[in-house]
Amino acid sequence: MKVLVPVKRVVDYNVKVRVKSDGSGVDIANVKMSMNPFDEIAIEEAVRLKEKGVATEVIAVSCGVLQCQETLRTAMAIGADRAILVETSEELQPLAVAKLLKALVEKEQPQLVILGKQAIDDDCNQTGQMLAALLGWGQATFASKVEVEGGQAVVTREVDGGLETLSLTLPAIVTTDLRLNEPRYVTLPNIMKAKKKPLDRVLPAELGVDVAPRIRTLKVSEPPKRSAGVKVADVAALVDKLRNEAKVI
Amino acid sequence: MTSLVIAEHDNASIRPATLNTVTAASQCGGEVHVLVAGSGAQAAAAAAARIAGVAKVIHVEGEHFAHGLAENMAGQVLALASGYSHLLFPATASGKNIAPRVAALLDVGQVSDITKVDSLDTFERPIYAGNAIAMVQSLDAVKVITVRTTGFDAAPSTGGSAAIQTQGAVADSGKSAFVGSEIAKSDRPELTAAKVIVSGGRALGSSEKFHEVLEPLADKLGAALGASRAAVDAGYAPNDWQVGQTGKIVAPQLYVAVGISGAIQHLAGMKDAKVIVAINKDAEAPIFGVADYGLEADLFTAVPELIAAL
């Protein structure tokens, strides 16, 4: 069974981004870029399925600029067998990415596509669900446990009130949540091996997909600032402030 | 312009998140309709009809809606979508699960997690863990939207008298099946609606201590309990208590962060609280940067003292 795992190159999660003074966007020039943390979890899960003998091949996919190759090499260092870069410098939104992935799914015929639940830059949380709809497949989002057996994926999901378990017929879509697994550290030997693994490049036009954005960003601004707080000396002072100044108790 | 709000409900009643979503819908211009798709959901449909500002309720019945499976819910919304300019879902686990399927089936983009409606096609939403706010314009004829409930007041749950229209259900997609769930029951207020939240971090050290130290404080304050990712990962608190960028987004009157360092991702979930209190023995903890009142102290001493002083 092939497993396809899309991965996104995003601003590293430790970076506190700054809004450009002209309001045109967020300043990401010279900022550290990394694989979206949820996508790392997705690659890790796919590799574990291969190690269990459930998956036969793990294919990593990324859509975007040429530097996404670095993200794909990281995916292969974690254990993906090969990678595909859909190369474009156009702004890609989830619907467009879902359409690109659908075209690749139709070519590669994986039984499972595992995606991160959301990208930490746009925080959309849409691509996996959109892909599932376009393919007419079942979906299990926010997965904290995945078991594949006999043509079914049994997935435990983190939902608002706790946990829920669903059974999906394969092929299906799973999106990862934080506690699905802890991704392994990438070792130097694996980084070296990854350099030799196949990485194919393809253009959106070759996949027959129109990637034009549907949502236009008019302005980006800073969130409202909180006024500076104070340190209180002790519990008594805290209670006094909460009761008499803030009036919240 | 007519909006359809896809209600979140438990068949017996309407969940609060739906009320905030109705408010957002009312700001999109035109009538607001509410879809209640469920199994034995007559009472929920009746409750939806009482929400102020709702002009019509569409009630769809089917056993295959009992657990809100995305494939069935999205299929049902698609069957009813014609004539609506705006389709709104609360940005809950359920809404986020279903909405993008609907958008893709309609071949339109989705605007996730809106905090403000600027006009019928322009919305504001947080990006980069809320460190930036984007004003975005949807170019599609139909806007599919998930609504951040903390961005909108709840519409009054009484005062409305909408007509209830029953509609036939689409068939079960058969692609997924509900196996089971572990949903916690609590007497505490729901985290996303609570006026006061007591939240704990990894410094609590163990599940026993987490509950032993924080529960009496939450009891005293009539608060809901929350947790940082680190505390949940360590097993001190269940996943549905996690406050943060990809967990619960909260905006209570009072947020008490106990032993939480204040990582970017945690702040994303609580920095819109009216008053933030931080108790942490690390003077440099980033949480003190957003706290209105910071108490630099050992939580194991300070929290019991606080309980006694309240």
Q: Do B67 and A164 touch (CB under 8 A)?
A: yes
Span B265-283, average pLDDT: 96
Q: Is the pLDDT of residue B186 over 90?
A: no
pTM for this entry: 0.95
Measured between beta carbons, which residues in chain B are less than 8 angstroms from residue A213?
Answer: 109, 139
A179 CB within 8 Å of a chain B CB: yes
User: Which tokens belong to B112?
Assistant: 């996730």
Span A84-96, average pLDDT: 97
Q: Which DSSP helix (H) or strand (E) runs through B305?
A: helix B299-309
In this prediction, residue A135 carries a pLDDT of 98
Q: Do A117 and B246 touch (CB under 8 A)?
A: yes
pLDDT tens, residue by residue, A3-45? 999 999 999 999 999 999 999 999 999 999 999 999 999 999 9
Name the closest residue on chain B to residue A10, using Cα atoms: B128
Closest CB to A141: pick one of B97, B239, B275.
Answer: B97
For tokens 């490049």, the residue is: A201
A31 CB within 8 Å of a chain B CB: no
Q: How far apart are alpha carbons A123 and A55 in whole angstroms?
A: 29
Q: How far apart are alpha carbons A224 and A28 in whole angstroms?
A: 21
B296 CB within 8 Å of a chain A CB: yes
The distance of B46 to chain A (nearest Cα, Å) reads 24
In this prediction, residue A75 carries a pLDDT of 98
A141 CB within 8 Å of a chain B CB: yes
A117 CB within 8 Å of a chain B CB: yes
The distance of A230 to chain B (nearest Cα, Å) reads 5
Share of chain B above pLDDT 90, in %: 97
Span A85-112, average pLDDT: 98
The answer to whether A178 touches B227, Cβ cutoff 8 Å, is: no
Q: Is the pLDDT of residue A228 over 90?
A: no
ipTM above 0.85, yes or no: yes
A150 CB within 8 Å of a chain B CB: no
Contact partners, residue A80, CB within 8 Å, separation at least 6: A5, A43, A46, A47, A58, A59, A60, A72, A197
Give me the amino acid identity at A87.
E
Q: Do B184 and A239 touch (CB under 8 A)?
A: no
Split at pLDDT 50, 70, 90, the class of B162 is very high
In this prediction, residue A7 carries a pLDDT of 98
Span A205-224, average pLDDT: 97
Interface test mutation site (partner A, options B76, B144, B146, B175, max chain A beta carbons within 10 A): B175
DSSP 8-state code for residue A158: E
Q: Do A223 and B133 touch (CB under 8 A)?
A: yes
Measured between beta carbons, which residues in chain B are less than 8 angstroms from residue A232?
Answer: 293-295
The distance of A205 to chain B (nearest Cα, Å) reads 18
What phi, psi does B302 have (nearest 5°)? -65, -40
Q: Do A238 and B306 touch (CB under 8 A)?
A: yes
Share of chain A above pLDDT 70, in %: 100
Span B80-92, average pLDDT: 97
In this prediction, residue B30 carries a pLDDT of 92
A92 CB within 8 Å of a chain B CB: no
Q: Do A164 and B176 touch (CB under 8 A)?
A: no
The distance of A197 to chain B (nearest Cα, Å) reads 32
Q: Is the pLDDT of residue B185 over 90?
A: no
Q: Do A219 and B135 touch (CB under 8 A)?
A: yes
Span B131-150, average pLDDT: 97
In this prediction, residue B2 carries a pLDDT of 97
pLDDT tens, residue by residue, B213-227? 999 999 999 999 999
Q: How far apart are alpha carbons B126 and B123 in whole angstroms?
A: 10
Q: How would DSSP label each residue in B35-78?
A: EEEESS-HHHHHHHHTSTT--EEEEEE-GGGTT--HHHHHHHHH
Span A38-55, average pLDDT: 98
B193 CB within 8 Å of a chain A CB: no
Chain A (32-91) residues lying within 8 Å, Cβ to Cβ, of chain B? 38
Q: How far apart are alpha carbons B209 and B296 in whole angstroms?
A: 20
Chain B (131-190) residues lying within 8 Å, Cβ to Cβ, of chain A? 131-140, 173-184
Measured between beta carbons, which residues in chain B are less than 8 angstroms from residue A178?
Answer: 229, 233, 246
User: Please, what is the average pLDDT of chain A?
Assistant: 97
The distance of B20 to chain A (nearest Cα, Å) reads 17
In this prediction, residue A150 carries a pLDDT of 87
Q: Do A218 and B137 touch (CB under 8 A)?
A: yes
Split at pLDDT 50, 70, 90, the class of B144 is very high
Nearest to B259 by CA among B296, B224, B307: B296
pLDDT tens, residue by residue, A140-197? 999 999 999 989 999 999 999 999 999 999 999 999 999 999 999 999 999 999 999 9
